[in-house]
Amino acid sequence: MNHAIARNVPRPFGWLMTASLVLAAFFAASAAQARPAPDSFADLVDGLLPVVVNISTSQVVERGRGNEEFEEFFREFFERRGGGGGEQPQRRRQNSLGSGFIIDSTGYIVTNHHVVAEADQITVRLHDDREYEAELVGSDEKTDLALLKVTPGEGESLAATRWGDSEVPRIGDWVIAIGNPFGLGGTVTAGIISARQRDINSGPYDDFIQTDAAINRGNSGGPMFNLDGEVIGINSAIFSPSGGSIGIGFAIPSNLARNIIDQLREGGTVRRGWLGVRIQTVTDELAEGMRLDEARGALVASVTEDGPAERAGIQQGDVILEFDNREVPDMRKLPRMVAETPIGKAVGVVVWRKGERLTVQVDLGELDDVALAAASATVGPSDSETGNIGDLGLSLSKITPALRERFELDDKTNGVIITDVDETGTGAEKGLRQGDVIVEVDQEEVASPSDVADRVAKAKDEGYRVVTLLVYRQGDFQWVAVRIEKS
């Protein structure tokens, strides 16, 4: 009887039974491989607390004009209460709190740059309440990291932690944060890694680990540990409309931090590689216009004159696909790759140029904070003065002296200027406007409206739906992918 029933089970239902059994076996195997949560973190934390320090800083600041109304209110309040007025001091001492951790028993301590920036005095307090005056060895604003040094007394010993590999932990793995939130030193919280590679627009090398472990004001500079007791991150920022933890915290990965800290320890400053390009994201439309198989790499919007990239032959419009034998998946990754590469190293760079992969050798320079000069394009002569490109919804003109004066263009700016934009056209969809200068179309220089029309017609004849425009606007170059309207 049972055998007959089993044979007559409808096939879809039987398939679902089989699939569910397979899935059950898969999840059972996955659960067996996953690292279980500990019953308690207590044993681990006992060994970690001594390496975490509380940091307090003070500095003398001038009373800014922004506080004048606030101070005037209190001056009037005290005068009404009979407290008298008098001249208010123009300087005051400001205190702040943060966290840090010891990386060497000789007294080297890691924290955030913003914890100790502009401090006149830095005091470090250990878990056992010992206090030391700290010296700032060096700091790096771009990555928000700083290195301190304290000098233990004779016979004193300091516990030190060890770095972990921040590339190993996965989303969902347990982490522990220890710090000094709101001055409550030695506070321990636990959570998981919520996400990786977060860009929160705090600096050029953002690559944060996101966690739901509670992080509050004062936790800045404190360590994020894995379950092996290794530092895999430095707690640095939170997202919080209220000012308190809502379960969205960000930590600097240890692999990025360790390189910076090593440089600070060696020489007190950080030196970074410099390529000499300005880049932008490769969108799906730009990829189609560049004839790339998918949106990837970093698109070169401009090349610094006499910089490493220009000397190596990298050109405006190239898409950088690989750097030093590492794939460049998107624009955000390239600045960090370059910054981490030794200055003067000969690096192979793979670029996509007009439908072909090319490899160039670049000798990296050193990054400084001087504004980078944008490369200027040169174009040849052409006869046509004005024209209308209906496929893009743009009215164009050669750059005449009158237009150069009207749109405040310098003598070095060349190309074709947009004089009018059809609000219903595809150019308007991409934000093109009067005064923009089209320098290239599909990586070919243009000098007249007819040049632009020829490039658009060629793209249509070859079956492409998009053209890429190199647009110059108020000192900056940008690539824009514009859809060709169908006739």
Catalytically annotated residue among 220, 236, 395, 448 = 220
Catalytically annotated residue among 99, 113, 139, 144 = 144
* HSE value, Cβ hemisphere, 13 Å, CA-based, for 437: 28
Q: Is 461 a catalytic residue?
A: no
CB of 459 within 8 A of CB of 477?
Answer: no
Tokens of 197: 């590679």
CB of 50 within 8 A of CB of 127?
Answer: yes
Catalytically annotated residue among 56, 99, 114, 436 = 114
Q: Which helix (H) or strand (E) holds 467?
A: strand 466-473
Alpha-carbon distance values, 106 to 73, 148, 160, 261 (Å): 50, 11, 9, 15
SS3 string, 89-123, reads CCEEEEEEEEEEEEEECCCEEEECHHHHCCCCEEE
Distance of CA 397 to the CA centre of its chain: 39
Q: Is 236 a catalytic residue?
A: no
What 8-state DSSP symbol labels residue 50?
A: G
- Give alpha helix (H) positions in 196-307: 254-267, 284-289
CB of 215 within 8 A of CB of 238?
Answer: yes
Distance of CA 204 to the CA centre of its chain: 5
Phi, psi of 306 (to 5 degrees): 60, 25
Q: Identify any residues that bridge with 337 across adjacent strands, giving them in sequence order.
A: none
Separation CA 405–CA 280 (nearest Å): 29
CA dihedral defined by 361, 366, 368, 374, rounded to 10 degrees? -20
- Helix, strand, coil percentages in the chain from 3-state DSSP, rounded to 5: 25, 35, 45
Q: Is 410 a catalytic residue?
A: no
**C-beta neighbour count of 103 within 10 angstroms:** 22
CB of 267 within 8 A of CB of 445?
Answer: no
State the burial class of residue 137 (Cβ atoms within 10 Å of its Cβ: 0-12, 13-18, 19+): middle
Residue listed under structure tokens 């460049």: 328
User: Among all residues, which ones are annotated catalytic?
Assistant: 114, 144, 220
